[in-house]
Amino acid sequence: MERRLSELRPGERGVVVRVVGERRLRRRILDMGIVSGTEVEVVRVAPLGDPVEFRLKGYELSLRRDEAENVIVRIHAGEGEASGSGGEDKGEGFGGGGSEGGS
């Protein structure tokens, strides 16, 4: 099931499907590691309801809700994995065409 990251509650987790939105903002979000395939967890919400703290790739990042809205995630089905949703081919990832640096 696809949701927007801004809709998730503390404790919930999702895997990023895609990032939309205004070019500048989108680029910044991507640069911080919120890319397709990244797992993001909601840690907490600020006392005034906004922004929201997320955990991804081993660090904590906070975003406003209207920024997190641009991130479409697929949430983990709690009881029993959603069938066939895994294994999206993300490509070679490591050393496809160029030479790998090595000593």
Partner 1 sequence: MIRVALIGNPNVGKTVIFNHLTGARQYVGNWPGVTVEKKVGRCTHRGVEMEVVDLPGVYSLTARSPDELIARDYIVEEKPDVVVDIVDASNLERNLYLTLLLLELEANVVVALNMMDVAASEGYEVDAGMLSKLLGVPVVPCVATRGEGIEALKDAIVDAATRKERRRVTFGFGDEIEDAIKRVEAVLSRSGSEGLSRYPLRWLAIKLLEGDERVEALVSKFV
Partner 2 sequence: MEEIRRIREELSKKLGEDLEVLLPARRYEIAGEISRRCVRRREERLTLTDVLDHVFLHRALGIPIFLALMYAVFQFAYSVSEPFMVMLEAAFGWLASLAGEAETPLASLWADGICGGLGFVLVFIFPIFFLFFALAILEDSGYLPRAAFVMDRLMYRLGLHGRSFIPLLLGFGCNLPAIMATRVIDDERDRLITILVNPLMSCSARLPVYVLLAGAFFGAYAGAAIFSMYVLGIALAVLMALLFRKTIPQLRGKPAPFILELPPYLRPTLRSVLLKTWQRGVVFLKKAATILFAGALALWALSSFPWGAPLEATYAGTLGHALEPLLRPLGFDWMAAVALFFGFLAKEIVVETFGILYGVAGEEEIQAAVAAHMTPVTAFAFMAFTLIYLPCLATFGIIRAETGSWKWTLFAVAYELALAYAVAATIVAFGSIVWG
What is the binding site for partner 2 (CB under 8 A)?
Answer: 18-19, 23, 25-33, 35-38, 44-51, 53, 57, 59-64, 67, 90-91, 93-94
> If you search the block for the tokens 């906004």, which residue do you land on?
50
Element (H, E) at 29: helix 23-31
| Closer of 28 and 81 to partner 2 (Cβ) | 28
| Residues 27, 31: Cα–Cα separation, whole Å | 6
Residue closer to partner 2 by CB (options 39, 81) is 39
Based on CB atoms, which residue is closest to partner 1, 3 or 25? 25
In 3D space, the residue among 3, 2, 23, 8 whose CA is nearest the CA of residue 63 turns out to be: 8
Binding site for partner 1 (CB under 8 A): 24, 27-28, 31-33, 57-59, 91-103
